[in-house]
Amino acid sequence: MGIVYHANYLKWFEIGRTELFRDMGIVYADLEKEGYFLPLTESYCHYLFPARYDDIIVVETELEYLRRASVRFNYRIWNEAKETILVEGYTLHAFLNGSGKIVRAPKGLVATLREDIRNTDVR
């Protein structure tokens, strides 16, 4: 059909989330070395228009909220010119320790993420 497989949008959400963290100075691998994990607990995609093979897309990611033991990210996937939103969605993640137990988000991460929430035009 020449259109992108629907599950690829979730992969692009992950890339957007990873790059948002990287822009804030947070590296996922470092969180895991410290014993914190962020498994996906919920995801949602609203497919508006398809991306086609070889299309250039733009992934826009923002932090919606941070709670004691969870964090939610919102996403918009646009065409290259940012004229058309292709997909909107979100992912919700829990903070777990190495034993799989729900834990509070680490304080340093909380401070960084809360700053991003205050500066909503920085994405």
pLDDT at 120: 47
Count of the separate structural domains present in the chain: 1
**Domain assignment present for 16:** yes
Mean pLDDT for 2-11 is 94
Domain extent, residue 83, equals: 8-118
Average of per-residue pLDDT values in the chain: 92
Q: Say if residue 121 is exposed, middle or buried (CB neighbours under 10 Å; 0-12, 13-18, 19+).
A: exposed
- What's residue 119's pLDDT? 54
CATH number at residue 77: 3.10.129.10
Look at residue 123 and tell me if it is in a domain. Answer: no
Determine, yes or no, domain membership for 2: no
- Could you tell me if residue 1 is inside a domain? no
In this prediction, residue 58 has a pLDDT band, given cuts at 50, 70 and 90, of very high
pTM, to two decimals? 0.89
Q: Is residue 41 part of a domain?
A: yes
- For 92-113, give one letter per residue: b (16+ CB within 10 A) or e: bbbbbeeeeeebebeeebeeeb
